[in-house]
Amino acid sequence: MQDIAARRRAVVTVALCAGVAVLTLVSLGVGPVKLSPVAVLEALFGGGSEVQRIIVQDIRLPRAILGLAIGAILGLSGAALQGLLRNPLASPSLFGAPQAAAFGAVLVIALGGIDVRSFMLPVAAITAAFVSVFVLLAIAGRNASLLILILAGLAISSLAGAATSLTMNLSRNPFAALEIAFWLLGSLEDRSFRHVALALPFIVAGAAILMSRRHAFRALSLGEESARSLGVDVGRLRLWAILGVALGVGGAVAVAGAIGFIGLVAPHLMRPLIGYDPARLMVPSALTGAALLLAADVAVRLIPSTSDIKVGVLTALIGVPFFLYLIVRERRALGGGLA
Amino acid sequence: MPPVTWLHRPCKAIPACIARSSGGFVAAVLMLILGIGVQAQAADLPRVASINVCTDQLLLTLADPAQIVGLSPYARDAARSWAAAEARTYRRLSGEAEDLLTLKPDVVVAALYMKRATRELLKRQGMRVAEFDIARSIDDVKEQIRRMGDLVRHPDRAEAQVARLDAAIARARQAVARKRYRVLALSRRGWVSGDDSITSALLSITGLSNAAAGLGSQSSGFATLEAIVADRPDFILISDGRDVAEDEGSALLLHPALEKLYPPSRRLVIPEDLTVCGGPMLSEALDRLVAELKRVGG
CATH of the domain at A178: 1.10.3470.10
pLDDT at position A336 is 53
Say yes or no for a CB contact (<8 Å) between A178 and B232: no
d(CA A15, CA A284): 10
- B227 and B271 in a single domain? The answer is yes
User: What one-character DSSP code corresponds to residue B65?
Assistant: G
Contacts of B247 in chain A (CB under 8 A): 109, 116, 173, 175, 179
Q: What is the pLDDT of residues B80-126, one digit of tens each?
A: 899 999 999 999 999 888 999 999 999 999 999 888 899 999 999 99
pLDDT at position B38 is 46
Q: How confident is the model at residue B15 (pLDDT cuts 50, 70, 90)?
A: very low
Which residues contact residue A245 at a Cβ distance below 8 angstroms, ignoring those fewer than 6 apart?
A: A77, A80, A81, A92, A97, A129, A133, A206, A210
| Strand B221-222 versus strand B191-192 pairing type | antiparallel
pLDDT at position B150 is 96
Q: Is the CB of residue B62 less than 8 Å from the CB of residue B142?
A: no
Q: How confident is the model at residue B284 (pLDDT cuts 50, 70, 90)?
A: very high
Which residues are bridge partners to B128 per DSSP? B107
Q: Is the CB of residue A207 less than 8 Å from the CB of residue A248?
A: yes
**Shortest CB distance from B245 goes to which of A116, A172, A308?**
A116
pLDDT at position A86 is 86
| Strand B235-238 versus strand B267-269 pairing type | parallel
Tell me the percentage of chain B whose pLDDT exceeds 70. 85
Please tell me which residue, B177 or A298, carries the higher pLDDT value.
Answer: A298
Count Cβ atoms below 10 Å from residue A142 Cβ, excluding itself: 10
Q: Is the CB of residue A286 less than 8 Å from the CB of residue A313?
A: no
How near does any CA of chain B get to the CA of A127, in Å? Answer: 20
Across chain B, mean pLDDT equals 85
Q: How confident is the model at residue B13 (pLDDT cuts 50, 70, 90)?
A: very low
- B206 and B260 in a single domain? The answer is yes
Q: Is the CB of residue B212 less than 8 Å from the CB of residue B194?
A: yes
- B23 and B68 in a single domain? The answer is no
Contacts of A31 in chain B (CB under 8 A): 224, 226
How near does any CA of chain B get to the CA of A152, in Å? Answer: 30
Q: Give the total number of structural domains in chain A.
A: 1
Q: What angle do CA B279, B281, B282 make, to 5 degrees?
A: 80
- B260 and B182 in a single domain? The answer is yes
pLDDT at position A326 is 86
Specify if B150 maps to a domain: no
pLDDT at B26 over 70: no
pLDDT at B36 over 60: no
Say yes or no for a CB contact (<8 Å) between B260 and A54: yes
For chain A, which residues score pLDDT lower than 70? 1-2, 143-144, 333-339
Contacts of A33 in chain B (CB under 8 A): 224, 226-227, 229-230
Contacts of B190 in chain A (CB under 8 A): 190
pLDDT at position B14 is 40
pLDDT at position A83 is 92
CATH number at residue B261: 3.40.50.1980
pLDDT at position B95 is 85
d(CA B248, CA A6): 45
Q: Give the total number of structural domains in chain B.
A: 3
pLDDT at B184 over 80: yes
Residues of A with CB under 8 A from a CB of B: 31-33, 51, 54-55, 58-60, 109, 115-117, 172-175, 178-179, 182, 190, 192-194, 307-308
Specify if B164 maps to a domain: no
pTM strictly above 0.90: no
Domain containing A251 equals: 2-338
Domain containing B100 equals: 48-133
ipTM: 0.85
Q: Which of A30, A56, A58 to mutate to test the interface with B (most CBs of B within 10 A)?
A: A58
How far does CA A257 lie from the centroid of its chain? 10
Tell me if residue B68 falls in helix, strand or coil: strand
Say yes or no for a CB contact (<8 Å) between B230 and A31: no
d(CA B173, CA B164): 14
Here the contacts of B14-20 (C-beta below 8 Å, separation 24 or greater) are B14/B39, B16/B66, B17/B66, B20/B65, B20/B66
pLDDT at B3 over 50: no
pLDDT at position B20 is 42
pLDDT at position A242 is 93
- B175 and B285 in a single domain? The answer is yes
Contacts of B192 in chain A (CB under 8 A): none
φ/ψ of residue A46, rounded to 5 = 95, 5
Say yes or no for a CB contact (<8 Å) between B257 and A193: no
pLDDT at position B37 is 44
Q: Is the CB of residue A297 less than 8 Å from the CB of residue A313?
A: no
Tell me if residue B126 falls in helix, strand or coil: coil
pLDDT at position B42 is 56
pLDDT at position B215 is 81
Q: Where are the alpha helices (DSSP H) in chain B?
A: 3-7, 14-20, 24-44, 53-62, 84-87, 97-103, 116-124, 138-151, 155-174, 198-205, 225-231, 248-251, 256-261, 272-275, 282-295
pLDDT at position B40 is 43
Strands of the sheet with B68-70, listed across from one edge = B68-70, B48-50, B107-111, B128-132
Contacts of A109 in chain B (CB under 8 A): 246-247
- B228 and B187 in a single domain? The answer is yes
d(CA B248, CA A114): 12
Which residues are bridge partners to B214 per DSSP? none
Q: Is the CB of residue A127 less than 8 Å from the CB of residue B261?
A: no
Q: What is the pLDDT of residues B224-258, one digit of tens each?
A: 899 999 999 999 999 988 888 888 888 999 999 99
Contacts of B232 in chain A (CB under 8 A): 51
How near does any CA of chain B get to the CA of A225, in Å? Answer: 48
Specify if B160 maps to a domain: no
Q: Is the CB of residue B239 less than 8 Å from the CB of residue B271?
A: yes
pLDDT at position B41 is 56
pLDDT at B34 over 70: no
Specify if B288 maps to a domain: yes
User: Rounded mean pLDDT of B3-32?
Assistant: 42
